[in-house]
Structure 1
Amino acid sequence: MDAIHGPVRVDGPYEAELERTMQELKKRKKELEDAVHELRASAVASGAAPSPQDSLEIMTKAYLDMAEGEPLLPPRGSVLPALLAMRRAQQIIAETTEYTDSQSASLEQVKRRTEAEQVSLREQQALQAALRSRIRALREGLENREEKTGEQFAKERMAELRHQKDHWDKQTSSLMKDLDWFIGEHLGPMLAAEELGGPVVGELMEIDPDDLSAGFTAQGKLKKTRDQPDQDGRQRRIDDIWGPQDQQGQTNKRRREGDEAAAASAEMRDLMEQLMNKLMEAGGETSGSYVEIPRESAAARFLVRSKVAVFHPKNARRLRLVDFARDLED
């Protein structure tokens, strides 16, 4: 009989039943052993080895005796059935645990493969939908082309270009208005302050144009405003820095007399206009887009610092706008 695997704990009456069952099994085992010894002894006493026929008859008789005899069953109340059932349950649990562990890795691999296949399926479906949409658009476009003549295509293209031109003209006009307002309200006073010996544009954000009449100290600080500034001297200073009105072009005609901020604003507007016109006339040719400037003004330095314009590498009196569109095309 196979040994019972694993510890089995029994208490009280079960100990007695277990002991009795073990004694019965040992007794039955001894009876079988004695029968085997008797058979061996009778074979030795006869002095002749059993023939194959005799061995077959013995085995047949033993089999018939076992088959016709009552089976060996444990007595009523024996714990042997419970022990056998417990051992079988333990074996099944162990086998199930081992099988579950072996299948966990396979299940994880199947899950990962399933997720990857689902992602691939979604991508394929999206690609298929995009291709169908593209094919439908191409078919519709082909049908429209077949129905339209070359003259109709030309008219539609011209109308589209005119619409785009109107759109960009409006955008340009709006930007120019915003630029003009920014120069007059904010940039002009800062440019005037730099020209008068004050801080560089951007270092002093809030500047009152009326305070510019007093000028700046050698340390770049505003002087105290006079109660009654010398208008004639102020006008001469403006003319010395920015030039008289008749030399500043049409833009400077809007300048108020004796107003440094307005003079600086007019100079910036005039310079921007010259640079843009020169760039358009050059048609993208860099060497032909330079503008001759009378001096290295605060307006010119501001455009260079802002990376909107660049000086000529060999002549600081020549200035041009950066051709952003050409840089993008390159």
Structure 2
Amino acid sequence: MEQEPRPITHDDLHATYVERSIRELQRAVQEEEGVLAELRRGVAGAAPVTSAATSLSIMTTAYKAAARSDPFLPFADSVLPALLALRKTHGVLAESQAYLGGGDESKPASSTPALDQARKKLAMDKARLDDQRALQIALEARIVALRSGLETRSTMSAAEKRQEALDTLHTKKRNYDRDTAALLKSLKQFIQERLGPMLAAEELGGPVVGGMVDVQADDLAAGFSSQGKPRKVSSVSAASGKASKKKEDRRQRRIDEIWGPRAGARGDGGEENDDNEDDGDWDEATAAAAEMQELTEELLNALASAGGDSSAAYVTIARESAAARFLVRSRAAHFHPRDATRLRLVDFGRELDD
């Protein structure tokens, strides 16, 4: 009984294709070796190249012959293309692993600086994208709200529109008044706590405002030298109470001569203010702060009542005090060009109004 032939499997076909590919490559190698041997024999008997033109001519002829020759192409079922692709893929994979992990499998890929930098950049780009999307959503919602508002206003009567505009103006005025009160309160606190002692130091012959930031009450009481340096505070014993009283009287006279008596102590018929501090609290810093606050209030009131008239915004000052000089140095106020006793604030909002 005849034995049935074994069916040809895929492995058999693959082995056959591999053998054919090997024989084809061997034949191609033999042909190239034969051509190389002929070239070597021809070169051995030929004269050496003596010029660049001859060398160029030989190279040109060789390139033209290579261009006219048929390229080596494997047969249709050859495994050579698959082997070349596999070798190329393996090389790319090995290079990628070496780039990411430095060739060390125990070293995590995230420790590579280049990869960390790329991940950080990706995270930043994602954050920017999220911000842009959130902004887009907000803008779209705003557009929808504006369109609905326009549609609502289109159905309103003229009286309703005027009332809405009037309510808006009232709301803005209330907000402006509240912000103005808060700013004036902050300004008053700044003058009393920070600016007053520095103004007093400048009035007493010390450094200008800003030259000595931390001015103490003892420095103001002791005064300053002709060079603007604070004098050393001398300790007074308990037995010299009379001398201490005399020194305090001189200090009070100095305050009255520079800033004048306090508002409640003036003999101008003014009423005593219950909110004023005790007489012991009326020192150089308090007097300078009160002068600065009074000057700023006068300047603000004059500017508000001037109604845009620059000549009507000036106020007359009794002397060129440290407060006035500070406002001029700060470019918040300036003197009259022909009268140094008149001062006015710079109208910062006039250019915006115009």
TM-score, with structure 2 as normaliser: 0.54
Distance 1:13 1:320 in 2: 104
**1:87 to 1:280, Cα distance in 2 relative to 1, 3 A:** same
Match of 1:232 in 2: 249
Matched, 1:191 2:199: yes
**1:220 to 1:154, Cα distance in 2 relative to 1, 3 A:** same
Match of 1:254 in 2: 276
Match of 1:285 in 2: 309
Deviation at 1:88, TM superposition (A): 2.6
Structure 1 residue runs of 5 or longer lacking an equivalent are 1-7, 17-82, 91-128
Distance 1:239 1:150 in 2: 63
2:261 corresponds, among 235, 244, 248, to 244
Percent of pairs identical after alignment?
50
Does the 8 Å contact 1:251/1:266 carry over to 2?
A: no
1:267 corresponds, among 277, 291, 310, to 291
Match of 1:221 in 2: 229
Match of 1:327 in 2: 351
Letter in 2 for 1:329: D
Matched, 1:156 2:164: yes
Letter in 2 for 1:324: F
**1:9 to 1:326, Cα distance in 2 relative to 1, 3 A:** farther
Match of 1:173 in 2: 181
Letter in 1 for 2:332: V
Root mean square deviation of aligned Cα: 3.6
**1:234 to 1:256, Cα distance in 2 relative to 1, 3 A:** farther
Match of 1:201 in 2: 209
Match of 1:298 in 2: 322
Does the 8 Å contact 1:254/1:266 carry over to 2?
A: no
Distance 1:270 1:178 in 2: 15
Structure 2 residue runs of 5 or longer lacking an equivalent are 1-29, 39-64, 73-136, 237-243
**1:223 to 1:134, Cα distance in 2 relative to 1, 3 A:** closer
Does the 8 Å contact 1:190/1:204 carry over to 2?
A: yes
Letter in 1 for 2:276: R
SS of the aligned residue for 2:70 comes to helix
* Matched pairs, number: 219
Does the 8 Å contact 1:251/1:269 carry over to 2?
A: no
1:175-224 deviations in whole A, cap 9, x for unaligned? Answer: 11111111111100000000000000000000112321111111111112
SS of the aligned residue for 1:186 comes to helix
Letter in 2 for 1:88: D
Match of 1:317 in 2: 341
Q: Which has the larger radius of gyration?
A: 1
Letter in 1 for 2:328: V
